[in-house]
A and B are shown apart, each in its own frame.
Chain A
Amino acid sequence: MTKKRQIKFTLIRTLVAISIALLVAALLIFISSGGSTFAEKLNATKEALKQMLIGPLFRMSEKKGTSFEAKRFTEILAAMIPTTFTGLSVCIMFAANQFNMGAEGGIMLGAFVSAMAAIYLPLPAGLHPVVAVLLGGLAVGIVMLIPAVLKAKLNVSEMVCSLMLNYIIMYVIKFLMNTYLADKSKGQIMSFPFRETSVISPIVDNKIFSGSKLTWGFVIAMIAVVLCGLFMYRSRWGYAIRMIGINQDFSKYSGMNVAGTIILSQVVGGFLAGAGGGIEMLGRYNTFSWSALPGYGWTGITIAILAGNNPYMVPLAAFFMAYLSKGCDLMATYAKVPAQLISIVQGVIFLFFAAEQFLSGYKQKLVVQSAQEEIARQNAAKAQEG
């Protein structure tokens, strides 16, 4: 298939998957919306969908009409920070065909380790957040050695192993918090406050944007995207990761270090998730009080699949997910629709992307078309020669 057709197919598939997901969402909203008559319900659905689709960027009010809302936009960008990191993390692991689900526990452990560094390490401002985030990333990278080495050496399923690891991480952190690290003077389980030197500061801090939490973490996330892109497409390690993901037998025969690369992909993935957790923690909070898995890792899986394991596409996918999430929040607030709907919309989109056979008939048609053109071109060339 030509490149143009490949892009055309991907684009159409994405659009169709999103349309179907939205259609399903509209149907559910219609059923769950208030109103007794059909017309009322229809109106409520329309209102809800409007909130979901354009609400994240525009404030709709009866008096002032529709106006651009900068704060909501920055909130979406801020929400992209942790999911960009988990998305990148999952991309690199999935590209090597390693279905490691550890980004979820990874982001929590990274946040925890960075938080501890922010509380207990006396370091100067500027250096402090860097060290804290790196420690968070390193901790998770090291923990990911468990599923990675077990997979590479003993062929233990990294999926099962990492999935279980998430809960081990969560409960170990909860145990440490409850027993040793909590600030006993507070009414709930939370750590002592972070040192002020450790704060990752907001990019802009004025009245309009106050509380949007769009920190320099966003810039770091975008730099991470570029670095991951370079790593995957311009370095020998990323190359080995991708080749192993495509054909492991081929990679082994070519003389690549298959076991080492499998381990590398998961350690790098773990580092990214951990660093993302640290950046999120130091940018958004001033004490550590997470008592459950935050969910960013699961979103990261959706993002990686949407991005086709391509790091450069991760920001787009992360933006899409953050936008959708914000839209659903608004819909829940203003249009009386349960916020849980986002899970359903996410689920439907996920389903259509994960199902590789989706629209495969159409793809086959494009392949055949390309093949026929190729044959025609060859015949024409032969005719010219003859």
Chain B
Amino acid sequence: MPDGIPGTKDEFVVQMKKITKVYPNGVAANQGVDFNLRRGEIHALMGENGAGKSTLMKMLFGLEQPTSGEIIVNGETLNISSPSVAIAHGIGMVHQHFMLVPSLSVAENMVLGMVPTKSGTFIDKNKAIEITKEYAEKFNLHVEPEAKVMDIPVGMKQKVEILKALVRGAKILIMDEPTAVLTTQETSELFVELKNLKNQGYTIVFISHKLNEIMEITDRLTIMRNGRSMGVYYTKDVTKEEISRLMVGRDVVLTVQKDKAVPKQTILKVRDLEYVNEWGKKMLDKLSFDVRAGEILGIAGVEGNGQKELVDMLFNFNIPNSGTVTVNGTSILGMPQQQIRNLGVSLVPEDRMIYGIAASASIEENVISDRSNEKRFNNGPLFNMKAIHEEADRLIKEYAVLCKSRKQHVGMLSGGNIQKVVVAREFSNDPVLIIADQPTRGIDVGATEFIRKKLVELSRSGIAVLLVSADLNEVMELSDSLIVMHNGQIAAYFDDTANLTDEIMGEYMLGLKHQSKEEVRRVCHD
């Protein structure tokens, strides 16, 4: 492992030693992670979503505090209790989602929290503009000081963010997926600027999972997987294939017993789905696939490659620019959720706290949310409370939800039990198609196993299952056939998952390989 040499230009500006972070909900996001930065380097922090990159950097920037471990900045052991402490020690962060006030000018945003004043009362706008111009020139980052932030392009917003950090005296810049929102041209512009900063002695942490960019711009890289560091490497010494293997491997292989699938008629038919997001980025690119009754079709891929957008389209949370989606021949694009559900479509949503539950309502109220209008639960204008109690108790028992009673607030349950409540509702309404989006993310092993078994059981009973998961283990174990998404396209289709390896998957997931049109076309069974 490359080390720093004290007293030379290779000395460490940041050392994070044995960092462990356990969130209040019990998720261990970092486990004994070592991370260090040398002065004047561009250091990539790589890993899939949920690998713990952001958590690690949030601790360095003071947004989170480590449960245990040590952070040393410029030789001084620090307790970084808030971002202001981090800023005082020369650490700045450029967030993926810009932290700017849209209605204020660039110059005003630059000086937020450190406003220059005339005689102590009035904002000195000219001074703010002067400061902005001075820094823009010094670092060769061109911005328009007097333009309103809402009127400037994304690339310039990012420059404003970088300048903001520099004005506050940052010597170490943490950049959270800076290229995710940029066009190709803006990206190459950014790289020139970053190299320029590096030459002036600034240290940059570059969080990303785009291999080409990492190879182009970074000096060293740290790879993370499942909250652990997989090692530190010189960028010039490793190949893309090695990185991909380190990033997307499986640690523990949980196996689920399942018989061979006997797919029947097509239930979900997606054709030529296209979607361009509000920033003009193409998120779905002529996406076509089928899901048949009795099979589990898995969608693998690094997050942000169109999976979220796809699921949004399937449940009318968004409308595509073109393409068709049918369930048993009925087009569901733009259809109210009630009608989509009436067709027998169930969704286990990715974000269970936002879509999956009403946290301050009881378990009972949560499991009947999709069926409260059904005849069996109503006696004329009033609820049939007996039937509702029975339904709730039955589901709690069948899905082994650990709780005090059906009256307990769902928000009081553990993550795994909350997800069991969601799954209990979504699996029990006689679906013909289940869309399971990250069904076991962040929940305990017991609940994970339970939900996976249920999914297999349901598919074998003739239900079509679309499984979207960033968990390679899950998607490879559960799926009967599998597609890999990359850049809004299907990069690969495998009609049999038995002989797949992590290496093959990794290459398609990170865009190193792409199957031919004919091979991909096989996922449409018409």
Q: Do A and B bind each other?
A: yes
Q: Shortest distance in angstroms between A158's beta carbon and chain B's nearest beta carbon?
A: 21
- Taking a contact as CB atoms under 8 Å apart, the answer to whether B369 and A243 are in contact is yes
Given contacts A235-B383, A236-B383, A243-B369, contact A253 B337 (CB under 8 A): yes
Contacts of B356 in A (CB 8 A): 250, 253
Q: Is the pair B361, A234 in contact by a Cβ cutoff of 8 Å?
A: no
Of B337, B340, B368, chain A has the most CB atoms within 10 Å of the CB of B337
Q: Which of B338, B407, B412 contacts A257 (CB 8 A)?
A: B338
In the bound complex, how far is the Cα of B341 from the Cα of A251, in angstroms? 13
Given contacts A235-B383, A250-B355, A253-B337, 4 further A-B contacts (CB under 8 A): A234-B385, A243-B361, A243-B369, A246-B360
Neighbouring A residues of B341 by C-beta, 8 Å: 255
- Cα distance A230–B317 in the bound complex, in angstroms: 33
The answer to the question of A8 belonging to the interface, with a C-beta cut-off of 8 Å to chain B, is no
Q: Which 8 A-B pairs have the closest CB atoms?
A: A255-B338, A254-B369, A246-B358, A247-B358, A255-B341, A253-B355, A255-B337, A236-B372
Residue contact B385 to A249, C-beta cutoff 8 Å: no
Whether A254 lies near B354 (C-beta < 8 A) is no
Residues 365-395 of B, flagged 1 when their CB comes within 8 A of A and 0 if not, give 1001110110001100111010000000000
Q: Which of chain A's residues has its CB closest to B360's CB? A: A246
Minimal beta-carbon separation of B1 from chain A (angstroms): 39
Known: A250-B354, A250-B369, A253-B315. A235 touches B381 (CB 8 A): yes
A242 at the interface (CB under 8 A from B): yes
Digit string of A204-247 for contact with B (CB within 8 Å is 1, else 0)? Answer: 00000000000000000000000000100011100110110011
Chain B hits for A256, CB < 8 A: 338, 369, 372
Interface residues, chain A, with chain B CB atoms under 8 Å away = 1, 3, 230, 234-236, 239-240, 242-243, 246-247, 249-257
The CA-CA distance from A255 to B337 in the complex, in Å, is 5
Taking each of B355, B359, B365, which has the highest tally of chain A beta carbons within 10 Å of its own beta carbon?
Answer: B355
From B347, B369, B412, give the contact of A251 (CB < 8 A).
Answer: B369
- A349 CB, nearest partner CB in chain B, Å: 24
Of listed A235, A239, A250, residue having the most chain B CB within 10 A:
A250
A243 to B372, CA, bound (A): 11
B29 at the interface (CB under 8 A from A): no
The reply to whether B361 and A242 contact each other, CB–CB distance below 8 Å, is: yes
B349 within 8 A of A: yes
Residues on A with C-beta less than 8 A from B339 are 255
The docked-state distance in angstroms from the alpha carbon of A255 to that of B431 is: 14
A246, B361: Cβ atoms closer than 8 Å: yes
Enumerate B395-446 residues with CB–CB distance to A below 8 Å: 407, 412
Taken together as a complex, chains A and B put the C-alpha atoms of A59 and B526 apart, in Å, by 89
Contact (A243, B378) CB under 8 Å given A1-B412, A250-B356, A253-B355? no
A240–B373 Cα distance when bound, in Å, is 10
> Are A254 and B337 closer than 8 Å at their CB atoms?
yes
Contacts known (A1-B412, A235-B382); A254 close to B370, Cβ less than 8 A: yes
Which partner residue on chain A sits nearest B339 by CB separation? A255
B359 / chain A contacts, CB cutoff of 8 Å: 246-247
Contact B347 A234 (CB under 8 A): no
Q: Can you name the residue of chain B whose Cβ is closest to the Cβ of A259?
A: B336
Q: Is the CB of B338 within 8 A of A230?
A: no
CA distance A230 to B382 in the complex (A): 8
Are the C-beta atoms of B340 and A255 separated by less than 8 Å?
yes
Q: In the complex, how many angstroms separate the beta carbon of A108 from the nearest chain B beta carbon?
A: 30
A248, closest chain B residue (CB):
B358
In Å, the complex CA distance between A284 and B215 comes to 83
Q: How far is the CB of B354 from chain A (nearest CB, A)?
A: 5
Give the Cβ gap from B339 to chain A, nearest Cβ, in Å. Answer: 8
Q: Which of B369, B378, B382 has the most CB of A within 10 A?
A: B369
A327 to chain B, nearest CB (A): 35
Is the beta-carbon distance between A239 and B338 smaller than 8 angstroms? no
Nearest A residue (CB) for B355: A253
Q: Which residue of A lies closest to B385 (CB)?
A: A234
Contact (Cβ within 8 A) B357 A234: no
B300 to chain A, nearest CB (A): 24
A3 surroundings in chain B (CB, below 8 A): 407
In the complex, are the beta carbons of B340 and A234 less than 8 A apart? no
Measured in the bound complex, the distance between the Cα atoms of B407 and A92 in whole Å is: 22
In the complex, the chain A residue whose C-beta lies closest to that of B354 is A249
Report whether A250 and B358 are in contact in the complex, using a CB–CB cutoff of 8 Å.
Answer: yes
Residues of A within 8 A of B377 (CB): 236
Contacts of B378 in A (CB 8 A): 236
Residues of A within 8 A of B357 (CB): 247, 250
A-B contact pairs, 21 of them (CB 8 A): A1-B412, A234-B385, A235-B381, A235-B382, A239-B365, A239-B368, A239-B383, A240-B372, A243-B361, A247-B354, A250-B358, A250-B369, A253-B315, A253-B317, A253-B337, A254-B369, A255-B337, A255-B338, A256-B338, A256-B372, A257-B338
In Å, the complex CA distance between A255 and B369 comes to 8
Kindly list chain B residues whose C-beta atoms are within 8 Å of the C-beta of A255.
Answer: 336-342, 370
Docked CA distance A246–B340 (Å): 23
Q: A247-B359, A250-B355, A252-B337 given as contacts; is B369 within 8 A of A234 (CB)?
A: no
A239 shortest CB reach to chain B, Å: 5
